[in-house]
Amino acid sequence: YQRRVHGDTVVCDITKPFTGSVQVDHCDHRIRSIELQLVRVEFCAAAEGVAKEATEIQNIQIADGDVCRKIPVPMYMVFPRWFTCPTLVASNFKVEFEVNLVIVLEDNHQLTENFPLKLFRPPLR
């Protein structure tokens, strides 16, 4: 399995889509699909330690079936307004976001790669 992933940026304006491309150069198995998952990760500090909870916000299928090798597949994901916010880091809690690139093989095995994002909201003009 060999692939190239290009995200236009990991510091994202929440009002604009996440864009980029993925290119599969080599894979010994047939691919069933390629998906983008947006995950919200919440951390909360307590006396017992740090609690972490990850929630899948959305899952977008960007390719269906065995993709052609060495041809870029575009990634385009709009951040859902009701389920995302700017990345927030405080002394006792954090809200962060990640994108998982998931390649599902024909036998249902999954290859997953994680990309942490920093979301921001631009100032009003």
pLDDT at residue 50 greater than cutoff 90: no
pLDDT at residue 12 greater than cutoff 70: yes
The residue-averaged pLDDT of 32-61 equals 93
pLDDT at residue 67 greater than cutoff 80: yes
Q: Tell me which residue of 100, 97, 99 sits closest to 84, measured CA to CA.
A: 97
Task: Give the percent of the chain with pLDDT over 90.
Answer: 74
User: pLDDT digit string (tens) for 86-117?
Assistant: 999 998 899 999 999 999 999 999 999 999 99
